[in-house]
Chain A
Amino acid sequence: MNFEEHAAKPLLARHGIAVPKGGLARTPDEAATVAGRMGAVVVKAQVPAGKRGKAGGIKRAATPEEARAHARAILGMEIAGFKVEKVLIEEQVPIERELYAAVLNDNSGKGPLVMFSTEGGMDIEEVAAAAPAKLRLQPVDIRRGFSRADGGALVQGLGLGTAEGKVADALAKLYEAYAAHDAELLEINPLIVARDGRVVALDCKFVMDDCGIVRHLDVARAGAPEQLTGLEARARAAGLKYIDLDGDVGVLANGAGLTMTTMDVIRHYGGRPANFLEIGGESYTQAKPALELLLSKPGIKSLVINFCGAFARTDVMAQGVIEAIEALKPGLPIYFSVHGTGDVEAIKLLKDRLGVTPLATMNDACQAAVRAAA
């Protein structure tokens, strides 16, 4: 789950990292009112995506009137596919120096990774390419954590001068916030040394591990809703994993790996998959609602139903599919491939109830569906 800047920064503040004073505005008038309490401000588009500055979504304003004008221009803009519906109005903090700090899940290292650079405000991958010596990485044993002393060791010798201790402290607090909230990524870019000597987070990006949301329901309420199509939202509400694609060959399979492979084989035969829809794991009993959902997608010309049962029983999935087909009587051609746990019963069910015999391999089923859609 992604968090916009205004929702991520309170998390830093709660763990003792300084953030600028600010307020959220949904209209130009609100922007002027918030700015009126602060003096010189920055007007920042709130979308769960990077590169807002380059897109013209971040502007400085010296007066409330200027803030109103910027807000008028920014609200309604589209940035990285997201429509801007709110702006964050923040006090300007005079900058002495821009730094970069992040903690993230390092899948290869199987643990957290603390990242720090003295080149703040830039894309971190540009820093890595242009000045790798300025990027410091510290893998962390999650059982031990990351202390202020660890932070001090990481930033030592980078010429931070009198700010060194405060930066080390901010890194330890950033790690604390990461660990306390099941973060996947918690990034401050830039983390600044202000002219008055304070260390302040001017921006914050926070991604929460979806599997951890149940432990942080209060915090998660402030997360950005995912951009879903109508069918994707319906699928989500029904507990199904569904993604809309732009092809015309529909796909229903069990397990993420098998579903992706079904899409691959459709592509291999020159077809275009219409969707990703999997009913693996505990959801294998959901074949009926899954197929009903898929059949409501416009533009599908043929369908591949590919089951390979391990935990998921193919006979239970076939039963669900049969019920959906009997209820909806779809006119389009459907090709089956059925193997694994319960396959003998599943194949008999399909033959008895629908008069259908599954094809010998998933390649045959995909190829037939691609031909039928052409």
Chain B
Amino acid sequence: MIVRGTDRVLVMGITGKQGTFWTERMQAYGTRIVGGTHPGKAGTLHCSVPVFATARDAMKGATFDVAVLFIPPLLVKEAAMDAIEAGAKGLVVLTEHIPVQDVMHFVAAAKERSVWILGPNTAGAVTPGECFAGFMPAFNERIFRKGSIGVISRSGSLGVLFCLNVVQAGYGESAFLGIGGDPIIGSTTRDALVTLDTFPGTEAVVMVGEIGGAMEEEAAEYAKTMTKPVVAFIAGGAAPEGKKMGHAGAIVMGNKGSYGSKRSALEAAGVTVLDTPSDVGAALKARLGY
């Protein structure tokens, strides 16, 4: 799920305001955009690339590896299924507020075909010095600089904060993976951790989680097996108890999901858990020795 400079990228919904704005920035940074989609504008050029009606059409005219979706919530299921059936290797789904049952549908289809998904509700992925996919300020050198720290975040704004702190501490990033803030997402914290563990040039991982769900606990299970240091922050320790799904939800979750549960699972796995985001530089120095 790391987007490389050699990957051919299709922007779905390329002609919209945000699609256009971020396509131009991705192109300027080095992302290899080969085409876009808009059902009504097939056959035209936009941002200097051909526009197709569907991802399936695009695959015939401009073979792509990764689809980035700038698509409104209720249309994402159809667009994602289109990209999966067209043969995409991976999808970056930026959209927030997609009905959860729609997400379940295309996530199940992607899993069956071994297609990776970042999101929904992600700000995207950055591979500094190569490319980015989504809407991250990859071009801001105080935030992204090529280096050896892999960063995983559910939240875009918090991801920016940690990348900023990593660079200010004198490091850079090997890759940033925004996995998304929705209750169901294509790639979990654990999936991203496995990916960065084996990504060449990555010497440590910063994992930015949030309360709710069981992803940090699952990631902790994998972190136990890692030799690379992992530093984590869990947002929401001071948050009031949120909306509960009732007894049936609580039983599936068991005790997982609380700040305390996540923190102790991570610490038991040898992960350094930060009290505040500003502590990340010192923690990396302590773990890496440089």
Contacts and interface: CB of A to CB of B under 8 A. Distances in A.
Interface of A: 50, 102, 104-108, 110-113, 115, 123-125, 128, 141-143, 179, 182, 184-185, 187, 205, 207, 209, 211-212, 214-215, 243, 245, 253-258, 260-261, 263-268, 273, 276, 280-281, 308-312, 339-341, 343, 361-363
B214 A214 contact: no
Interface string B155-194: 1111111001000000000000000010110000000000
Interface residues of B, number: 60
A341 B252 contact: no
A340 B157 CA distance: 9
A187 B218 CA distance: 27
Contacts of B118: none
Contacts of A185: 245-246, 248-249
B156 A212 contact: no
Contact of A184 (B100, B236, B237, B238): B100
B161 A258 contact: yes
Contact of B276 (A102, A141, A143, A264): A264
Contact of A209 (B101, B111, B123, B218): B101
B156 A363 contact: no
Interface of B: 73-74, 96-101, 104-105, 107-109, 111, 123, 135-137, 140, 142-143, 153-161, 164, 181, 183-184, 208, 210-211, 213-214, 218, 233, 235-240, 245-253, 275-278
B246 A111 contact: no
Contacts of A215: 74, 99
6 contacts: A111-B104, A113-B252, A143-B105, A209-B101, A255-B156, A339-B161
A123 B240 contact: no
B237 A267 contact: yes
Contact of B160 (A112, A184, A266, A308): A308
Contacts of A125: 247, 250-251
A136 to B, nearest CB: 13
Contact of A258 (B107, B157, B183, B237): B157
A254 B157 contact: yes
Nearest to A205: B246
A259 B272 CA distance: 22
Contact of B104 (A105, A123, A254, A263): A105
Given A142-B101, A209-B101, A257 B245 contact: no
B157 A211 contact: no
Contact of A107 (B155, B161, B184, B235): B184
Nearest to A115: B248
Nearest to A271: B238
A229 to B, nearest CB: 13
Given A123-B247, A257-B153, A310 B100 contact: no
A253 B157 CA distance: 9
